[in-house]
Structure formats: C-alpha cells, structure tokens
Amino acid sequence: MIVLTDPPNMAALFAKAAVTARGRGGDLPDTHLARTGVAVDPAQLAGYARVCGLPLADALPITFPHVLTFPLQVALMADRAFPLALPGLVHVRNQITVNRSIRADEELDLEVWPDRFATHRIGATVDLVASVRSRGDEVWRGRSTYLARGASAPDGATAADVDVSVGDVAQIAARWRVPDDAGRRYAKVSGDVNPIHLSGLTAKAFGFKRAIAHGMWVKARALAALSGRLPDAVSVDVGFRKPLFLPSTVILATEQTGGRWDLAVRNGKSGIEHLVGVVRPG
C-alpha cells in the first residue's frame, strides 16, 4: 500500500494522463493508494451540497465520500501502469454502501484499489473500489465501474456487469433544468475536471457531441430528493445508461416499495433514461 501525505493534484494528473494515454495495455496493477487522518473541508462540503441540491447537515451526504476518494482513483488511473487511458473514460455504474452515518467532523482513512477488468460489447470496463474507515471501522464503501470505448480486456476476462434492474418507475417526483455549466460547477466542488464534462469543445475531442453531466452529480441530485427519508445504513446502486448532454431538462421518477426505492432520471422530451437506481436499507 502507498500512503500519500497530501491529496493528489487532479488537474495535473489529468494533464499527465492525456500525455501518456497512448501505448497502454496489460492487466490491472496490484496497487493500493491511501490517505490517513483526512478531515472534511467545511467549505467544500457546503459548496458540494449547494451544487447537488442537498441539505447541509452534521452527517455527510451518501455520495460525498466519493469526492474524498476520487483523487486517489485519478492517481491510480493516471499512472502508466494502469492499462486504460483516463481521458474519455465514462462512469457507467456506481455502487455505494454506507454502514452508518458519518459525521462531518470525523477524521477518515481512505483507500482505493483497482478490481475486475472485464469485457464490454463496445470496449472494456474496470472497477475501482474505495473504502473509508473511521477509527479502524469501515463506514463507507464505493465501487465505480468505468468504460473505455474501443479498448480490450485481457484474454479470459469476464463480461462486464453494468446493468441495474429497477421496477416500473412512473411516479414523477421532480423536474430539473440542467444548465450548460453544470459540469463546470460540479468540477469546481468535486475536483473532477475530466474534459468530457467541462465544455462542448473539450467533450468533442473525446467523441461526445456536447459536454455531459457527471454521473455522480446526477446520482447525488437524485438522492437529494429522498433527503430525510433514508436510514443511516443504506446501499445505493445506480447505472448510468445514456449520457446527459448539457444543457437538458430531465425528470426524476421514483417508486417506493417497503424500504426500497427505485429511481430513474429521464430526458424530459425523449424519455431516454440517463440513470436508473435502487436504494435499499443497509
């Protein structure tokens, strides 16, 4: 395990990843990156809550630990030992398990490692696992699945598991107008400066017709609609089905069955699903 004393500089890492994108390959490295004694920045937390439409509370939002661990993910993916080029990677699934609520004033230990290199019908996927501990106990775990279009997984790799099944989600809970600067606003509070989210010009360089919203922003924005109605221990599994191009109008639909919620975020005109997800008590 490699323990970093400072948070990685994500802008520098994305630049490094762009320069070293060619010539990658091979299998996943057996690398674990960690940081210890990490304190939440109150200003960053407040900005994150504002951008995602979340209430500011003593406990961290379900998705916020992803923001803390994401720089370690980027550091792993920017390294030449990582087989897939970071620029253009698309987040296609995200699973989070919260074992208990996490206070905003807790010191946290973070660890990230790669897992599950798999084949996909249009490329290859890789999972990055993130763990957050407090006083030795794991309080949060995330699994992010990223797709590299046109890439190849090693011989014998299993098929990618990116599908999330939901029920008939029909009850409209909210309608949002997502502005064209949504990617830049989320990048400012999360540090995720992947160019596919920042502008139409930089997104086109990676094959997208316009900039696309961060998947984790869409997930956080959807969960904001359930604020105050979820238990402290909870799991949230979402699939990012189609890119949410900026700007757009979207509809959030929900369906509750017992303690389970099914979610869908759809385009307000075409009905195309951008996100589907399941929320279950932990």
The pLDDT profile of the chain, 282 residues, written as one tens digit per residue, is: 899 999 888 778 878 877 777 777 788 999 999 999 999 999 999 999 999 999 988 999 999 999 999 999 999 999 989 998 887 788 999 999 999 999 999 999 999 999 999 999 999 999 999 999 999 999 999 999 999 988 888 888 999 999 999 988 988 999 999 999 999 999 999 988 888 888 988 888 878 899 999 999 999 999 999 999 999 999 999 999 999 999 999 999 999 998 899 999 999 999 999 999 999 998
Burial tier of 54 (Cβ tally within 10 Å: 0-12, 13-18, 19+): buried
Number of CB atoms found within 10 A of residue 231's CB: 13
Query: How far, in whole angstroms, is CA 86 from its chain's centroid?
Result: 14
Contacts of 12 (CB under 8 A, 6+ apart): none
Res 205: pLDDT: 83
Beta strands in 68-179 (DSSP E): 90-98, 108-120, 123-134, 137-149, 171-178
Res 196: pLDDT: 84
Res 88: pLDDT: 72
Res 276: pLDDT: 97
Superfamily for 2-281?
Hotdog Thioesterase (3.10.129.10)
The model's pTM? 0.93
Burial tier of 74 (Cβ tally within 10 Å: 0-12, 13-18, 19+): buried
